[in-house]
Amino acid sequence: MIEFTLWDILRNLLLAARWTIVLSLVSFVGGGLVGLLILFLRISPKTWLNWLARGYIELFQGTPLLMQLFIAFFGLGLFGIDVPAWLAAGVALILWSAAFLAEIWRGCVEAIAKGQWEASASLGMGRLQQMRYVILPQALKIALPPTVGFSVQVIKGTSLTSIIGFVELSKAGSVVTNATFLPFTVYGLVALLYFALCWPLSKSSQILERKLNVAHRNH
């Protein structure tokens, strides 16, 4: 029987952790872009756009991410479309993140006083100009801490993609366990690596929140 050193295990996990990071980044950035679009629909004065966005958000927040991954991976297969695991993982996570980010940001936009909309409207600005120059710069400040906080959820969410066969940190964990029969060591290291990724983010979210101290400004 081959002996595995701790370094052998860690090295393989670290290599796989790269894919966790890549998938997280893609999901977060892609989810942010799609989320921005959903946000604009969600706060649009046109009711049907509003309902469209609302339906989207309800759908993705109201079903488990795992089901969404299954549907993206197996569902499209039923129609003869062969979806590789990385693509299904990326698409599902982007759509899922978008729903949550759009809803977080909607709260931030709605936290901006109504007077800001009225003042900018009375100066002749159109809706997009109001958003771009008046509302979003203020909403961004409020949005930063919860957005950074949500990135932690994205990183942990990527672990589910192991089930459809995408080899990231969790999947590598089970592969390495199968070879070494050292589940406690391997999964302990996996957990530590997740923690090393997530903790700095939640910490910076807290620091940002305190620094921007949004709730207590202007009062």
Partner 1 sequence: MSLIEITEVRKSFGDNEVLKGINLDVEPGEVIAIIGKSGSGKSTLLRCINGLESITSGSIQVAGAQLLDDELHLKALRLKVGMIFQQFNLFPHLTAGGNVMLSQMVVKKVAKADAEVMARKMLERVGLAHKFDAFPDELSGGQQQRVAIARALAMQPIALLCDEITSALDPELVAEVLAVVRELAREGMTLLMVTHEMKFARDVCSRVVFMHQGRVHEIGPPEEVFANPKTPELRQFIGMVDETV
Q: Which is nearer to partner 1, 36 or 121 (CB)?
A: 121
Distance CA 206, CA 204 (A): 5
CB of 54 to partner 1, least distance (A): 23
CB of 147 to partner 1, least distance (A): 18
CB of 126 to partner 1, least distance (A): 6
Distance CA 86, CA 92 (A): 10
CB of 95 to partner 1, least distance (A): 31
Radius of gyration from C-alpha coordinates of the chain: 21
Closest by alpha carbon to 190, among 159, 149, 151, 218? 159
Q: Quick check: helix, strand or coil at residue 198?
A: helix
Q: Which is nearer to partner 1, 36 or 125 (CB)?
A: 125
CB of 174 to partner 1, least distance (A): 49
Q: Which is nearer to partner 1, 71 or 112 (CB)?
A: 112
- Cβ burial, residue 52 (10 Å; 0-12/13-18/19+): middle
64-69: long-range pairs with CB below 8 Å, 24+:
65/92, 65/93, 65/96, 65/157, 65/160, 66/160, 66/163, 68/92, 68/95, 68/96, 69/160, 69/161, 69/163, 69/164
Q: Which residues make up the interface to partner 1 (CB under 8 A)? A: 113, 115-116, 118-127, 129, 133-134, 137-138, 141, 217-218
Q: Which is nearer to partner 1, 133 or 181 (CB)?
A: 133
Q: Which is nearer to partner 1, 20 or 120 (CB)?
A: 120
